[in-house]
Structure 1
Amino acid sequence: MSEQQGLPPVRGPLVYRQSIWTRLTHWTWAICLFFLLLSGLQIFNAHPALYIGQQSGFEFENAVLEIGAINTPQGPRGRTTIFGQQFDTTGVLGMSGSAEQPTFTGFPGAVTIPSYRDLATGRVVHFFFGWIFVAALFVWFLASFINGHLRRDIVPKGADLAGLPRDALDHARLRLHHGRRYSPLQKLSYFTVFFILFPLIILTGLTMSPGMDAAWPWLLDVFGGRQTARTIHFVVMVLLVLFFIVHIIMVLLAGPLNELRSMITGWYRTSPGTPGEQGDRS
């Protein structure tokens, strides 16, 4: 019998990885993005189509996405058109619910806030959580700049870019490392979210506001019109949803208890052999 049998597994040190500001804003964003997504789909259902340019209407052929329903010999069917390509999306998009009592909306009520048609309430919910989201982002940027989190963990450096192919291969093989700092792939992902996707979704949201257009008319020029801004806003929302799905999958694969402890208490269990430093727990 091996002398090692029955011994507890070797564990790496606990390190203080997430500050209180990172944890508070992380959970604030999670709540905000949930309500922003579902209320945003309620707003989208008021006109379930996306265009490129300043205008939209019957006289223009600038739609890149249209969700609706059509009559067929077999009865009404949901139809989604993407860049001219038509897809039958009955039961999911355009037409949902039972055959006896179908609902004709872009997205079904199960994924909108409110679940019934109410554009006014959807806009109130969307704007309320939108401004909380912006405030949390401002707090995070300020705190992360002061405590060095931005420089240390978010902005990729030359060594991170050099190590990106190896880190991407390790993730593809599910060889996940629990280090003190973020891996190159994590840094690049978070940098993209914080410096590209978040600013884009905020600025395009402001571009769709007539009041903001009056105050900042340059927004319309930057994004090529209100309709183009709406399309970019929708695309960025889809990218953030995809990021969230991948994020949850990686949390489950990396060890959900350790990852959750990091975002609740700040303490993170690293892999064995990770160098310790002052403030770590064994």
Structure 2
Amino acid sequence: MDTTAHARGPLVYRQTLMTRITHWVWAVSLFFLLLTGLQIFNAHPALYWGQESGFEYNNALLAISSREGEEGLEGVTYLLGWEFETTGLLGASGGRAHGFPGWATIPSHHDLGTGRVIHFFFAWVLVGTLALWLMASLLNAHWRELLPTPSDLRALPGDVLNHARLRLHRTRTYNVVQKLTYAGVLFVLLPLMILTGLGMSPSFNAAAPWLLDLFGGRQSARTVHFAVMLLLVLFFLVHILMILLAGPLNELRSIVTGWYRIDPEGDAHDR
């Protein structure tokens, strides 16, 4: 990759103030939501589908537990009928039984009450920030920048191939892979996480009982909520990897100041 040519590229104003503010609020909110969510999950580290969880029978899709082994406490994880030993990470570590280890939860010790308070606080911060971003995007038409055009979709195979080969172009607008990814997060994953979270709230159930029916029951909503969390973690890891490959200082400047340095021929890649 020609870094010298990249250095000669012009600076363009790519990220608006609202985009930058909401980006960082989402980052902080999702960090606390993840770690407090794992604290809440540890109260019953299993996932089911439908209306109920089994007690006298096992209908778990995922279950994290522990058992006594020859060398002490062992962690074991069950996934779709398959059994995996996960000692040291899931089920048991340091001689203690748990779902996720303390370093992955907030608080780090077992405290369901505090975890729920922090979780609900940042959940409403996320809801408010997303609503604010949606309103601002409607006013400044930023949402259109995230929706791929027919020409974008025709260019999708080539753009996927460029990403696979790590040929990353720095352009004035988002490429089609970025558009599809960001649109999926903002218009699908985040709303789905919010709706499943509301569906598990007893007070919201009283006002809108149809929401749980939409997801097929409380246990299904909890499972979808957990699956969306995993997808958001995957998005974060890929997002960070792309930032490192594309030039972390340039990407950081863009999301802090709004100014982004594009390739000299960046305008030719705009679609």
Give the TM-score category using the shorter length.
over 0.9
Question: 1:128 aligned to 121, 131, 155, which one?
Answer: 121
- Equivalent residue, structure 2, for 1:182: 174
Name structure 2 gaps, 5 residues minimum: none
After the TM superposition, which segments of 4 or more aligned residues of structure 1 sit over 3 Å from their partners? 7-10
Q: How far apart are 1:74 and its partner, in Å?
A: 3.2
Kept in 2, the 8 Å contact 1:42–1:113? The answer is yes
Name structure 1 gaps, 5 residues minimum: 1-6, 277-282
Kept in 2, the 8 Å contact 1:28–1:136? The answer is yes
Q: How far apart are 1:221 and its partner, in Å?
A: 0.9
Letter paired with 1:231: T
1:59 aligns with 2:56: yes
Distance 1:77 1:10 in 2: 54
Aligned residues: 265
Q: How far apart are 1:275 and its partner, in Å?
A: 3.9
Superposition CA RMSD, Å: 1.4
1:255 aligns with 2:252: no
1:163 aligns with 2:150: no
Distance 1:24 1:169 in 2: 32
Distance 1:116 1:77 in 2: 19
**Does the C-alpha gap of structure 1 residues 134 and 70 become closer, same or farther in structure 2, counting only changes over 3 Å?**
same
- Equivalent residue, structure 2, for 1:14: 11
TM-score by length of 1: 0.91
Higher helix share: 2
Distance 1:10 1:240 in 2: 32
**Does the C-alpha gap of structure 1 residues 10 and 123 become closer, same or farther in structure 2, counting only changes over 3 Å?**
closer
Any idea what SS the aligned residue of 1:76 has? Answer: strand
- Equivalent residue, structure 2, for 1:47: 44
**Does the C-alpha gap of structure 1 residues 37 and 8 become closer, same or farther in structure 2, counting only changes over 3 Å?**
closer
1:103 aligns with 2:100: no
Kept in 2, the 8 Å contact 1:170–1:176? The answer is yes
Distance 1:62 1:69 in 2: 18
Higher-Rg member (1/2)? 1
Any idea what SS the aligned residue of 2:137 has? Answer: helix
**Does the C-alpha gap of structure 1 residues 39 and 10 become closer, same or farther in structure 2, counting only changes over 3 Å?**
closer
Any idea what SS the aligned residue of 1:87 has? Answer: strand
Question: 1:217 aligned to 209, 229, 244, which one?
Answer: 209
1:152-205 per-residue CA deviation (whole Å, 9 max, x = no partner) reads x21111111111110000000010000000000000001111111111100000
Any idea what SS the aligned residue of 1:58 has? Answer: coil
1:26 aligns with 2:23: yes
Kept in 1, the 8 Å contact 2:171–2:267? The answer is no
- Equivalent residue, structure 2, for 1:280: none
- Equivalent residue, structure 1, for 2:226: 234
- Equivalent residue, structure 1, for 2:81: 84
Kept in 2, the 8 Å contact 1:53–1:62? The answer is no
Distance 1:72 1:238 in 2: 30
**Does the C-alpha gap of structure 1 residues 225 and 8 become closer, same or farther in structure 2, counting only changes over 3 Å?**
closer
Any idea what SS the aligned residue of 2:254 has? Answer: helix
Q: How far apart are 1:274 and its partner, in Å?
A: 3.0
Letter paired with 1:260: L
- Equivalent residue, structure 1, for 2:131: 138
Q: How far apart are 1:223 and its partner, in Å?
A: 0.3
Letter paired with 2:37: G
Letter paired with 2:256: I
Kept in 1, the 8 Å contact 2:6–2:264? The answer is no
Q: How far apart are 1:220 and its partner, in Å?
A: 1.1
Kept in 2, the 8 Å contact 1:156–1:191? The answer is no
- Equivalent residue, structure 2, for 1:279: none
Any idea what SS the aligned residue of 2:61 has? Answer: strand
